[in-house]
């Protein structure tokens, strides 16, 4: 997508082309064959476009809090969106009581947890616990810190950069994220090592 002229209003992230295939491989293993996928913090919308096209049995609902991101998602959708990619909705992960989606079969959040306040992760877990059915999955992708695992120098540098940009941002401990999820009936079902020192964490609602 980034090699073509951008549609007016659309944004692009170079990392998307590098990580979208490994992410999709995990999604194919864990998402249902049919149903509604709620993407939280969909950003530019390139992942939503790619995943919806690759998973035609699913209806994909992208959301974001940022107005520029919402405009970018809609620009990509109008330019090349498959029919199962729905218009984006404004959603604040930190305010699950105000989410515009009341039920979803799965939730996906790519590169959200570390680029948002911890309150957003807590809200994400509360919202997931509310809207997912029994057996529904929450899939998180990004860099994390793990107890007993030496962090990659690039992740430490990234963490420091994030905190300089916003003291409320930064890489989270997997144990803390799992504890927040467990408080809302979500258990860590799989931890998948990904390229460039990232992880995909798959939570399942009991």
The CATH number assigned to the domain holding 152 equals 3.40.50.150
- Tokens 């149903």 -> residue: 35
**105 found inside a domain:** yes
Cα angle value 197/41/188 (rounded, 5°): 55
CB 128 within 8 A of CB 180: no
Burial 117-133 (b: 16+ CB within 10 A, else e): ebebbbbbbbbbbebbe
- Domain assignment present for 2: no
Q: Residue 32 domain-assigned?
A: yes
Taking the model in full, what pTM does it have?
A: 0.96
* pLDDT at site 156: 97
Q: Would residue 98 be called left, alpha or beta, if left means φ above 0 and alpha means ψ between -120 and 50 degrees?
A: alpha
Residue 9 lies in a domain: no
In a domain, 5, yes or no: no
Which residue carries 């490994």 as its tokens?
22
17 Cα distance to chain centroid: 16
Q: What is the pLDDT of residues 169-178, one digit of tens each?
A: 999 999 999 9
Count of CB atoms within 10 A of residue 69's CB? Answer: 20
How many domains is the chain partitioned into structurally? 1
- Is residue 4 a part of any domain in this protein? no
Name the stretches of the chain with pLDDT < 70. 1-4
Per the structure block, which two tokens stand in for 46?
């390139």
How high is the pLDDT of residue 5? 80
26, 59, 35, 122: CA torsion to nearest 10:
70
- In eight-state DSSP terms, residue 154 is H
| Alpha-carbon dihedral sign for residues 180, 184, 188, 193 | negative
Count of CA atoms in the C-beta half-sphere (13 A) of 107: 34
Asked, for residue 7, whether it belongs to a domain, the answer is no
Residues of the domain holding 68:
14-205
Residue 101 lies in a domain: yes
Q: What is the pLDDT of residue 3?
A: 54
Question: What does the pLDDT read at residue 2?
Answer: 42
pLDDT value at residue 4: 64
Closest CA to 16 of 98, 99, 111, 145: 111
Tell me what pLDDT residue 1 has: 42
């Amino acid at each position: 997508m980034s090699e073509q002229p951008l549609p007016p209003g659309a944004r692009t992230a170079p990392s998307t082309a590098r990580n979208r295939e490994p992410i999709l491989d995990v999604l194919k293993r864990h998402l249902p064959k049919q149903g509604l996928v709620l993407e939280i913090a969909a950003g530019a919308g390139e992942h939503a476009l790619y995943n919806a096209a690759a998973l035609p049995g699913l209806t994909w609902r992208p959301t974001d809090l940022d107005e520029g991101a919402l405009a970018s998602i809609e620009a990509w959708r109008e330019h090349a969106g498959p029919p199962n990619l729905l218009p984006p909705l404004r959603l604040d992960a930190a305010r699950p009581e105000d989410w515009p989606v009341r039920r979803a079969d799965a939730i996906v959040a790519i590169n959200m947890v570390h680029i948002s306040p911890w309150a957003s992760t807590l809200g994400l877990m509360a919202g997931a616990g509310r809207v997912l059915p029994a057996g529904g999955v929450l899939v998180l992708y990004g860099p994390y810190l793990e107890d007993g695992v030496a962090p990659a120098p690039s992740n430490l540098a990234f963490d420091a950069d994030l905190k300089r940009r916003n003291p409320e941002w930064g890489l989270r401990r997997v144990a803390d994220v799992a504890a927040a999820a467990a408080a809302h009936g979500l258990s860590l079902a799989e931890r998948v090592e990904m390229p460039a020192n990232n992880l995909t964490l798959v939570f399942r609602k009991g």
